[in-house]
Amino acid sequence: MNMMPSLGMGTFRLEGDDAYNAVSMALETGFRHIDTAQIYGNEAEVGQAIADSGIARNELFLTTKVWLENLGEDAFIPSVEESLRKLQVEAVDLLLIHWPEVSGKVAMDTYLPQLAEAQRRGLTRFIGVSNFTNAQLDQAIEILGEGSILTNQVEVHPYLQNRRVIEHCQSRNIQVTGYMPLAVGKVMKDDVLQRIAERHEVSVAEVVLAWQLQQGLVTIPSSTKRVNLETNLNALRLELNDDDMADIASLEQGERIANPDFAPQWD
């Protein structure tokens, strides 16, 4: 598989058997893009679900992310090798820097060359970043070179539409991957989204995912229920009209869910 499928399965907050079962169901349902991270503590379960699925490795797109404490030169490559052991693969398809290091402990021009080194060693096919601001992304491109960064993975949902970041990434020819697309379930109770879903005779989740896909984004919803995984996949076939898109655009509230104390100064 050469490029990242536009709809993936996120595994944030899934642990132990929940992670294993959710990934197994996602693969059975038809998902071929799985997203995890070192800090999620579920790489072993994700890897086992993939191994047990019997799906050929080249049919899957697998992403993991290097955690902040592994960004130093001594820890970076060993941490990636550890992730690969847990995932039971020789390489991931995409390796991301999970968060930009803003404390000053490790400079970007130290850890980004390590990311490129992981790619050079064949530990990952593509490299990218996550939670980078526009200025940080520009700095990363300067360090790594044009065309080296596949994606910037950022929070995107109807209440945090992140348009400035999306436009900037697209202007730099970098794919945006939206995480937390369903705003941790908040979208399900939204009157505007419910009306759009009723008009199309689909679920609210399908509407929100289709909204992201129609903007050219990759999106990685998470679910532990088979029925939800199946309806999420249906978003690939849903076409929203201009009125639908405008109605969803009006829901912007700048409401950020993932905002830890080590986050950068957001755009």
Residues annotated within a binding site: 98
Distance, CA of 37 to CA of 94 (rounded, Å): 11
Residues with a catalytic annotation lie at 40
HEC profile of 224-241: CCHHHHHHHHHHHHCCCC
Phi/psi-derived region of residue 9, left when phi > 0, alpha when psi is between -120 and 50, beta in every other case: beta
Number of domains making up the chain: 1
Residues annotated within a binding site for substrate: 98
Task: Return per-residue pLDDT of the chain as tens, 267 residues.
Answer: 668 999 999 999 999 999 999 999 999 999 999 999 999 999 999 999 999 999 999 999 999 999 999 999 999 999 999 999 999 999 999 999 999 999 999 999 999 999 999 999 999 999 999 999 999 999 999 999 999 999 999 999 999 999 999 999 999 999 999 999 999 999 999 999 999 999 999 999 999 999 999 999 999 999 999 999 999 999 999 999 999 999 999 999 999 999 999 999 999
Residue 47 counted as domain residue: yes
Residue 254 counted as domain residue: no
Residue 232 counted as domain residue: yes
Residue 259 counted as domain residue: no
Domain CATH number, residue 193: 3.20.20.100
Residue 218 counted as domain residue: yes
Residue 265 counted as domain residue: no
Element (H, E) at 219: strand 218-219
| Main-chain dihedrals φ then ψ at residue 151, nearest 5 degrees | -150, 160
Residue 210 counted as domain residue: yes
pTM for the structure as a whole: 0.97
Distance, CA of 149 to CA of 174 (rounded, Å): 7
Q: How many CB atoms lie within 10 A of CB 190?
A: 19
Determine the structural domain holding residue 240 and report its residue range: 9-249
Residue 255 counted as domain residue: no
